[in-house]
Amino acid sequence: MTVRSRLTPEREAELYEAVLDLLREVGYDALTMDAVAARTRSSKATLYRQWRSKPELVVTALRHNKPVNMHDIDTGALRSDLHAMLARTDDCQLEKDSALMRGLAQAIHQNPDLHKALRELLIAPEITGLDAMLKRAVDRGEVSADNRALDFVPHMLVGAFIARQLIEDRDPDQEFLSDYLDAVVLPALGA
């Protein structure tokens, strides 16, 4: 939990962008609060006062720059909800996000604090939003309440994001993810 910020929203955004740039450049393990302080011309004391730890700062920066908020997507149909979610990001951002996630994937296995912060501050809220979207689809009759694929939608979405780089050596893009939604996720849900 961050303390009440005395930083302006512009300054916070600048700090978050610097953290993400450093993550892309050096990876999680080599990222230090000293490097963030130097890059942003801040004091380490300020950084630790605002964010208690490196994992919290990193996850908060990721959450701040994440353009998708599933809680406010409700088009009235599951397919258009999922495509609206995808439309909130562009190929350039997908490429940046892919690079960050690859770097963090290794780090979460070696840093339990990062893993915990990532789950609490970024993943859990997104899964809650996705669950609400899927519940609305069930309530509308688009998806059967007993469809086992409902439990695996987060896995399918994360899998698409990660697997393309692994299998094809290409970052996921709008076209790939849109096709994936239509060819894999929606048919699995019977929608």
| pLDDT digit string (tens) for the chain, length 191 residues | 444 457 788 888 899 989 988 888 888 888 899 999 999 998 888 888 888 888 888 888 887 876 556 778 899 999 999 999 888 777 777 777 777 777 677 788 888 888 887 787 777 888 888 999 999 999 999 999 999 999 999 999 888 888 888 899 888 888 999 999 999 999 999 98
Q: Look at the pTM and tell me if it is higher than 0.75.
A: no
Residue 31 phi/psi, 5-degree rounding, is -75, 130
Whole-number Å distance between alpha carbons of 81 and 77:
6
Q: If residue 91 lies in a helix (H) or strand (E), which one and from where to where?
A: helix 91-110
Report the Cα 23 to chain-centroid distance in Å.
15
**pLDDT at position 67, please?**
56
Query: Helix, strand, or coil here: 104?
Result: helix
Tell me the C-alpha to C-alpha distance, in Å, between residue 41 and each of 3, 10, 24, 46, 189: 20, 14, 19, 11, 50
